Structure 1
Amino acid sequence: MTKLLEVNNLSISFTQYVQGLNRHDSKVITDLTIDVNENEIVAVLGSSGSGKSLLAHSILGILPYNSQVTGEIKYNGEVLTQELKEKLRGKEICLIPQSVNFLDPLMKVSQQAIGECEDDKEREEKKIRQREVFSKYGLDESVDDLYPFELSGGMARKVLLSTALLGDPNLLIADEPTPGLDKQSVEETISDIKNLKEQDKGVLLITHEINVALKTADRIAVFYSGHVIEINTAENFKDADNVLHPYTKALINSLPRNGFKLTEGVQPLDDVIGCPYYENCPARMDKCEKNKPKLINHNGVMIRCFNYEEVNDES
């Protein structure tokens, strides 16, 4: 199985100046490790505003100037430098953005999908390719001459997806592709993303909707307060007894089908010294308060929890 994307120990912080010239470094992502294989969909599941989109922006090299990044990102085994990111994005690595606002409101759909061309021959070739991809996703020729405001929510999502596919990328990053869509459009979007896997592409799906992750992904990485705390198969996420981390169990138990069993507490906004789930965890130990667990492999599941480190030490 070919690894398309490898993210190792990625941390992202932002430098801000508050109350005059007092510098404050705010860490948003800490020690994030995740990978995506060819012909696989991996979902990054976490609450809104938890920093998930920054992972996508880091892979693409479009973080703001005041960001500080450590760790390593590889594509097809090669370290992604800023120069390589700029070379690959829009070609081998493409983003399906979360907002239809990424579409230029003053430009017709086909024009912005095709982009700039050096001559009429290139324009004609791109037009043929654009129509071929649009047709595959149910967008007929009448869509080409529409402006973004004339598209329905579902059509706009399909335009974003189709535009990302024009360069025939190997890796697609779908950033929150379903919010605001009606049920039918959500199902169509899920089907479209799953279809990409059948084309031997790798997909990193960023979402806060657990049902979308369950229906779409092969593996799910749970994001909590800037940390990946568990990576498990989507199949195991169907039952709280089959996942490991206390937060993951609580997340599954909170679903409507499981009776809305909610737990108290909120995610810490700032980086903490110990385990990020310490304050809310029913299985916490004394060492969890001032020590941060590492992401380890436990029987094929990636888990960030001292309880499983203890088990591994004993085995």
Structure 2
Amino acid sequence: MTVPVLDVNDLSISFIQYQAGMRQRMLQVISDLNASIQGGEILAVVGSSGSGKSLLAHAILGILPKNAFVSGSILYQGQLLSPERQKKLRGREIALVPQSVNYLDPLMRVGAQVRTAVRRGNPPEEQRKAFQRYGLAAQVEGLFPFQLSGGMARRVLVSTAVVSGARLIIADEPTPGLHPEVVAEALNHLRQLADEGCAVMLITHDIGTALAVADQIAVFYAGTTVEVAPAADFQGQGETLRHPYTKALWRSLPQNDFIAIPGFQPSPYCLPAGCLFAPRCVMKTDRCLTAKPGMRDLRGGRVRCDHAS
């Protein structure tokens, strides 16, 4: 096996919060999270809102707020991604395709914005190559963000990541509210980047979107990874999946059984003592209520469940 472009091991993130009387408390929002991406691969990170997907992206980029405390390790190409290294690589070798097109400067023409991200070669030439590649007409470079359609704005954001020459691209919910044809186009752009050797992390709440292009699926629940599985395992009634939450998530889709399981994802303010999914799990035992399961290899994937087989 080659060294992964990105390797996240046992990542935990907590925030200091102040209560009445200026008392401090630590609120843990991510615990023992694991993820790994090879060059040429798309890892889709899926989970409901509040499961920790975007926080993972911010931790990799080194843009968490100052009251965040981080433990565990994040390796980039086999070396620890320290704060100094994050600052050096951010926007160069590690690029973000953000969730919102509001990341574009409303007072700056989009061509000029993309040119500021060019690290090698002639900036105007590289920007025009990227626009041509993504079907943006020559005159688009002179437009302001408010003059773009949603699909055009997304392509500008992808162009910004491409001209940086990044090896790791993090796409944080890049398709919300877009027409299905535009969604397919955006996903194809990410697939092209992976096929050219980039490692791509696609953050999404939509498994259907993820399965269209991803090689591996990492399923998040309440701030941790519960399963990492090949995309091909998401089929039928979920027989080849490992974790009970992953199976329930798959079977809840409209094209499958469309059956939701009882309960809800726990808040960081009241996490269970043992397995985070135990209160909703039909397989739970007394041990699950008190002991936190670790990640283990199983049938070509990884799972955080003592009962998975």
If the length of structure 1 is used for normalisation, what is the TM-score?
A: 0.94
Contact 2:51 2:224 in 1 (8 A): no
Distance 1:123 1:13 in 2: 38
Question: Which residue does 2:216 correspond to in 1?
Answer: 219
Question: Which residue does 2:145 correspond to in 1?
Answer: 148
Q: How does 1:254-293 map to 2 (within 5 A)?
A: 254-270=252-268, 271-293=271-293
Letter in 1 for 2:8: V
Shift of 1:129: 0.5
Question: Which residue does 2:56 correspond to in 1?
Answer: 55
Letter in 2 for 1:114: R
- Is 1:184 the equivalent of 2:181? yes
Question: Which residue does 1:172 correspond to in 2?
Answer: 169
Shift of 1:258: 1.1
Distance 1:214 1:194 in 2: 12
- Is 1:87 the equivalent of 2:88? yes
Aligned CA RMSD, in angstroms, stands at 1.6
1:140–1:277 Cα change, 3 Å: same
Percent identical among aligned pairs is: 47
Distance 1:238 1:158 in 2: 31
If the length of structure 2 is used for normalisation, what is the TM-score?
A: 0.95
Q: Which moved more, 1:77-86 or 1:299-308?
A: 299-308
Shift of 1:20: 3.1
Question: Which residue does 2:241 correspond to in 1?
Answer: 243
Shift of 1:123: 11
1:37–1:213 Cα change, 3 Å: same
Letter in 1 for 2:17: Q
Q: Which stretches of structure 1, 4 residues or longer, exceed 6 Å deviation after superposition?
A: none
Pick one of 122, 127, 137 that aligns with 1:125. Answer: 122
Distance 2:50 2:61 in 1: 19
Contact 1:15 1:26 in 2 (8 A): yes
Shift of 1:115: 2.0
Residue 20 of structure 1 aligns to a residue whose secondary structure is helix
Shift of 1:42: 0.4
Q: Deviations over 1:38-88 (max 9, x none)?
A: 100001101123221111111111100000100000111110110001101
Question: Which residue does 1:3 correspond to in 2?
Answer: 4
Contact 1:174 1:204 in 2 (8 A): yes
Contact 1:114 1:123 in 2 (8 A): no
Distance 2:147 2:21 in 1: 46
Shift of 1:2: 4.0
Shift of 1:3: 1.1
Shift of 1:262: 1.3
Question: Which residue does 1:104 correspond to in 2?
Answer: 105
Gap runs ≥5 in structure 2:
none
Distance 1:249 1:266 in 2: 15
1:151–1:52 Cα change, 3 Å: same
Gap runs ≥5 in structure 1:
none
Contact 2:8 2:35 in 1 (8 A): yes
Letter in 1 for 2:239: D
1:123–1:236 Cα change, 3 Å: closer
Contact 2:50 2:222 in 1 (8 A): no
Residue 276 of structure 1 aligns to a residue whose secondary structure is coil
Residue 256 of structure 1 aligns to a residue whose secondary structure is coil
Aligned length: 305
Contact 2:3 2:78 in 1 (8 A): no
Letter in 2 for 1:204: M
Letter in 2 for 1:87: K
Shift of 1:124: 8.8
Residue 250 of structure 2 aligns to a residue whose secondary structure is helix
Distance 1:237 1:10 in 2: 26
Distance 1:110 1:124 in 2: 16
Distance 1:125 1:20 in 2: 57
Higher helix fraction: Structure 1 or Structure 2?
A: 1
Distance 1:109 1:252 in 2: 39
Residue 122 of structure 2 aligns to a residue whose secondary structure is helix
Shift of 1:180: 1.1
